[in-house]
């Protein structure tokens, strides 16, 4: 089991292409070919200008103007081609089966680590807590700010415009849903409790909280469908047939 875990971990990091990225000149992707051709054209034009300036007769002013216009034209498309190239690389990497399996395993390992920290550091203090001050003191063990710091952040947040507050609050809910921290810590309760104070009323806070929680659930669903479906289908219990071949799973998948 340990050897299998090591092999899967090594294959995952190798497939991410962080340290062994394919050079752009050797990348067969269409975006890489187009970007490399654009860079080569720009370099060739610049080399012609440098060679003309070094010639005994000097560079022709008309040629220099045409070359400068061509370089400006090529430079105008360079940011978009570069962005398309990196989008292609990220999409290609995330679509690799070994990367999908590795990402799903990383979520599991992260949850186990959070659970271990909770049981080792937080749970004993929560069991002996007798006031809110004791709860905040227990939270400081995980780097959670104290009550005064949280109050200061809340005052600063109330000064932001509505779109900024909605964006920050939504990001917090999505992160909480993806990491499943509320399985061990009362983060979701805290977010819902702060909503009326953040959005200026019970009704706006309730609506914002419900909308952000729904968005977090949608993100969880999309992540599960993209990265966990194949792993669940191939999973077997006690060396039995894969779950994907079970009749109840086929019925649920319709």
Q: Report the distance separating Cα 150 and Cα 161, nearest Å.
A: 19
Task: Give the pLDDT band of residue 46 (cuts 50, 70, 90).
Answer: confident
Other CB atoms within 10 Å distance of the CB of residue 90: 11
Provide the pLDDT for residue 110: 73
Neighbour count for residue 173 (Cβ, 10 Å): 25
For residue 122, pLDDT over 70 is answered with no
Measure the CA–CA gap between 105 and 72, rounded to whole angstroms.
Answer: 47
Query: How far is the C-alpha of 45 from the C-alpha of 73, rounded, in Å?
Result: 12
Average pLDDT, the chain: 77
What is d(CA 104, CA 223) in angstroms, rounded to the nearest whole number? Answer: 9
pLDDT above 90 as % of the chain: 7
Q: Which residue has the higher pLDDT, 97 or 3?
A: 97
| Segment 166-205, tens digit of pLDDT | 788 878 877 877 777 766 666 777 777 778 877 777 888 8
Q: And the tokens for 12?
A: 């995952």
Prediction pTM value: 0.47
DSSP string, the chain: -HHHHHHHHHHHHHHTTSSSPPPGGG--SHHHHHHHHHHHHHHHHHHHHHHHHHSTT---HHHHHHHHHHHHHHHHHHHHHHHHHHHHHHHHHHTSHHHHHHHHHHHHHHHHHHHHHIIIIIHHHHHH--SHHHHHHHHGGGT---HHHHHHHHHHHHTS-HHHHHHHHHHHHHHHHHHTGGGTS-HHHHHHHHHHHHHTSHHHHHHHHHHHHHHHHHHHHHHIIIIIHHHHHH--STT---GGGSHHHHHHH-
Average of per-residue pLDDT across 204-209: 83
What is the token pair recorded at 100?
Answer: 């999908």
Mean pLDDT is highest, among 10-14, 36-40, 107-111, 152-156, for 36-40
Backbone angle region of 145, left / alpha / beta, with phi > 0 → left and psi within -120 to 50 → alpha: beta
Task: Please determine, for residue 50, whether its predicted confidence score (pLDDT) is greater than 60.
Answer: yes
Confidence at residue 129, expressed as pLDDT on a 0 to 100 scale: 52
Most confident of 88-102, 131-145, 217-231: 88-102
- Per-residue confidence (pLDDT) for residue 118, from 0 to 100: 66
Mean pLDDT of 34-51: 89
pLDDT at 224: 75
pLDDT digits (tens, 9 = 90+) for 3-33: 776 777 788 878 888 777 888 888 888 999 9
């Amino acid at each position: 089991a340990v050897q299998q875990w090591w092999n899967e971990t090594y294959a995952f990091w190798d497939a991410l292409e962080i340290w062994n990225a394919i050079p752009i000149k050797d990348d067969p992707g269409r975006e890489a070919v187009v970007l490399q051709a654009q860079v080569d054209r720009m370099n060739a034009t610049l080399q012609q200008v440098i060679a003309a300036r070094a010639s005994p007769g000097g560079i022709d002013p008309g040629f220099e103007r045409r070359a400068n216009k061509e370089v400006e034209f090529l430079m105008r498309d360079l940011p978009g081609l570069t962005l398309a190239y990196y989008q292609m690389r990220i999409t290609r990497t995330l679509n690799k089966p070994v990367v999908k399996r590795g990402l799903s395993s990383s979520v599991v390992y992260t949850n186990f680590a959070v659970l271990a920290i909770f049981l080792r550091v937080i749970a004993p203090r929560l069991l002996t807590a007798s006031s809110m001050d004791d709860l905040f003191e227990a939270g400081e063990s995980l780097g959670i700010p104290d009550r005064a710091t949280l109050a200061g952040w809340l005052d600063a947040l109330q000064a932001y415009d509505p779109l900024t507050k909605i964006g920050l609050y939504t990001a917090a809910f999505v992160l909480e849903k993806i990491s499943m921290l509320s399985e061990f810590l009362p983060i979701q309760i805290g977010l819902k409790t702060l909503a009326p104070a953040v959005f200026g009323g019970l009704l706006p806070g309730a609506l914002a909280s419900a909308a952000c929680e729904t968005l977090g659930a949608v993100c969880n669903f999309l992540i599960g469908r993209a990265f966990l479906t194949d792993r669940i289908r191939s999973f077997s219990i006690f060396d039995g047939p894969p779950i994907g071949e079970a009749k109840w799973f086929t019925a649920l998948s319709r």
